[in-house]
Amino acid sequence: MFDQRYVRQTADSKYTDVQTRAGQLDSLLKTAKSDWNALTAKVESIKNDLDAAVKLANTDQQAGEEAEAAIAEAGGEIRSIDNKGYSTTKRIGSSSKSFGSGISADVSSASGALRRAQTELSQGNYEAAARSAASAKRAAEEADAAQQQVAAAIAIAVTLYEQEQERIREAERERQREADRERQREADRQREADRQSSSSSSSSYGSDSSSSTGSSGSDSNSNTGTSGGGDF
């Protein structure tokens, strides 16, 4: 039993011709004094043509079913990719970031090939329909691969940018730390200078006090000696 949707004109015409000739043969068989050799040849010819018509019809049905299946597969692939998201998440430093959330695949070429396949199927050009469906699926896969590459490239570019920004921030933090260390060293130097200055001042004051005390004692002794001599 054939699905009439898939039987093309050539097979249908052959089958119709076989039916017509078989009907004529039936009337000849009922005719007296028929040429049985000629009738046998006609029967053989009709049988061969029927086999050929059946073979063509089988080929048509197989080709039609394969084309229809290829179209369904391509359509599913296109819908899947058209609705596909390309967002990826990468960890940068201590946080996770998503990339490619606004990216979508361009399936216009694939959709065009699919429409062509559907038209060819409706016209009975099953082989061309199968080829167009395969082209549609391939175009969808290529669009998908292209957008995956775009999403990956964006993620890499943003990751590198973020890493560079982190290096800049770290360099700034290190510069600040070095400035803090330099201020601390300067404060330490200032304290040391103040300590040394204070120590020097204390030493000078002690030396001056000793000298003043020594001079007073010497003057007192001198005065005492002079006074005694005056008494004699």
Helix or strand run (H / E) with residue 217:
helix 126-231
Q: What is the average pLDDT score of the chain?
A: 81
pLDDT tens by residue, 165-189: 888 988 999 999 999 999 999 998 8
Measuring CA to CA, which residue among 74, 70, 72 is closest to residue 140?
A: 74
Structure tokens at 134: 């395969």
Alpha-carbon torsion angle 109, 110, 112, 115, nearest 10: 180
Question: How does pLDDT run across 135-160, given as a tens digit for each residue?
Answer: 999 999 999 998 888 877 777 777 78
Q: How do residues 201-226 score in pLDDT, each as one tens digit?
A: 766 655 555 555 555 555 544 444 44
Residue type, 220: S
Find the radius of gyration of the CA atoms of the chain. 55
Each as own residue / partner, the long-range contacts of residues 175-183 (CB below 8 Å, 24 or more positions apart, any chain) are none
Give dist(CA 112, CA 132) in Å, integer. 9
Q: Which of 137, 80, 73, 146 is nearest to 110 (CA)?
A: 137
Share of the chain above pLDDT 90, in %: 41
Q: Which residue has the tokens 């006090």?
A: 209
DSSP conformational letter for 6: T
Dist. CA 63–CA 5, nearest whole Å: 12
Higher pLDDT pick, 218 / 95: 95
pLDDT exceeds 60 at position 21: yes
Residue found under tokens 């559907």: 118
Give the three-class secondary structure for 97.
strand
